[in-house]
Structure 1
Amino acid sequence: MAGRLRAPTGRYGGKSAEERQAERRGRFLEAALRLFGGSPGYRGTTVASLSEAAGLSTRQFYEEFRTLEDVLAALHLQVNDWAEEAVLAAFVDAQGLPLTERVTAIFRAYAADVTTDPHRIRITFVEIVGVSPRLEEQRLARRARWVELICAEATAAAERGEAAPRDYRLAAAAFIGSVNGLLHDWSAGWVDATLDEVVDELVRQLLGILRPPGWTPTPAL
């Protein structure tokens, strides 16, 4: 997302203009993770306070972003990208495992990533909600991406005879709602359980969707 001011060009201190720009952008996002995801939160942060936390100037802020909403949008995508990378890596590592073990490993990888820093949970589940129509569209688009990932894995499992054959879109959307709500409530201290217990409960829900009562796996040919 381009800012309103032109960034300097050429090499300085052994770094190219692109490298310096990437470094500045990273510092703003790191500071935003602390402020938006902690205190005072997105709505309590100003351009001046964010710039100060990043150790940069407001002029440098406007070289990278137009508004604080642009920062929140970029940070929300970054946090989701981190979680998606963790999940995709777990998919590779869990190939060949039985369904229950595979689902557990993949979901534990997701939970471990989003809960590794409480600031990430707040960005994902709290600060992004209700900011603007634009960010609502982005939030729902990323949620839809998670739904599609679950549907793809569930459909593949059904084709292997490991899960019930069905259209998983509605069930996947409902499951993502459970994930978001329970992880948010756990992080806020409203759920008296360990993270392992929370993950186990969510895995049980997902397995119940994949293997409803009365259905049995089809032996592989």
Structure 2
Amino acid sequence: MSDSAAIRRQLPRGRHHLTREQVVASQRERILVAMGEAMTEGGYVNTPVASVLKRAGVSRETFYELFRSKEDCFAAAFDRASQLLAERLQDSITDDVDALTRMDNILTAYFGHMIDDPASARLFLVEVYAAGPTAIKARMELQHRFVAVVATMLGAQTPEQQFACATLAAAIGAMVTGKIAADDLASLWELKDHLIALARRSGTVYGNAFAD
């Protein structure tokens, strides 16, 4: 078992070999994971801290040592989910392939992440809009980063192409959010195929990746 996997499991009772830093890291990670999982049942508004504590296996005292409030915990869980997605997308980007393969790789990573971690996907695509203006601002910043990924993927260079990529990213976000909210994860792969076909038909609307 890796070190990261070891600190994510619930700590054993009694004496153990973990340092204080590892204990805190384990508790924090379990709380962040539990926040996403708890909201799949009741949504952000109807998820009390007690539900998160039960799933995480930590005390209320431990929770408030790490987070000021449920809102603070949600913000940290959102940052965690965003970072995991960014890392997966980054790992999928390669320069030594053609545009079609690069787009397929990136979308496969994006949709694969949603399917592999639906609780996190729901957290940053659906529940974020119920968590207040600070969370929504963070969501918009994440959307801007996604636009940059789309623009790079499609070879956008002009302001018009950049704007077209922004509208495409917004459409992708809206469609994926709808599917996550409806728990219709399987159809994400069909959506991926339609998006690739759209990009191939678009000429230079979004960028020069598929220019004739």
TM-score (normalised: structure 1): 0.77
CA RMSD of aligned residues (A): 2.6
Q: Distance in 1 between matches of 2:114 and 2:185?
A: 19
Instruction: Indicate the residue corresponding to 1:55 in structure 2.
Output: 57
Q: Distance in 2 between matches of 1:217 and 1:106?
A: 19
Instruction: Indicate the residue corresponding to 1:3 in structure 2.
Output: none
Query: Which has the higher Rg, Structure 1 or Structure 2?
Result: 1
Change (3 A) 1:19 1:68: same
- Identity of matched residues, %: 24
Three-state SS of the structure 2 residue aligned to 1:42 is coil
Three-state SS of the structure 1 residue aligned to 2:129 is coil
TM-score (normalised: structure 2): 0.80
Q: Distance in 2 between matches of 1:166 and 1:207?
A: 18
CA apart distance, 1:186: 2.4
CA apart distance, 1:100: 1.5
1:4-153 residue pairs with structure 2 within 5 A?
13-36=16-39, 38-92=40-94, 95-153=95-153
CA apart distance, 1:187: 3.0
Do 2:81 and 2:124's aligned partners in 1 also have CA atoms closer than 8 Å? yes
Gap runs ≥5 in structure 2 = 1-14
Q: 1:173 aligns with which of 162, 166, 175?
A: 166
Change (3 A) 1:54 1:99: same
Q: Which deviates more, 189-198 or 82-91?
A: 189-198
> What one-letter code is carried by the residue in structure 1 that aligns with 2:49?
V
Q: Distance in 1 between matches of 2:45 and 2:187?
A: 30
Q: Distance in 1 between matches of 2:184 and 2:135?
A: 28
Three-state SS of the structure 2 residue aligned to 1:44 is coil
> What one-letter code is carried by the residue in structure 2 that aligns with 1:119?
A
Q: Distance in 2 between matches of 1:81 and 1:206?
A: 27
Stretches of 4+ moved more than 6 A in 1? 190-193
Q: Which has a greater percent of helix?
A: 2
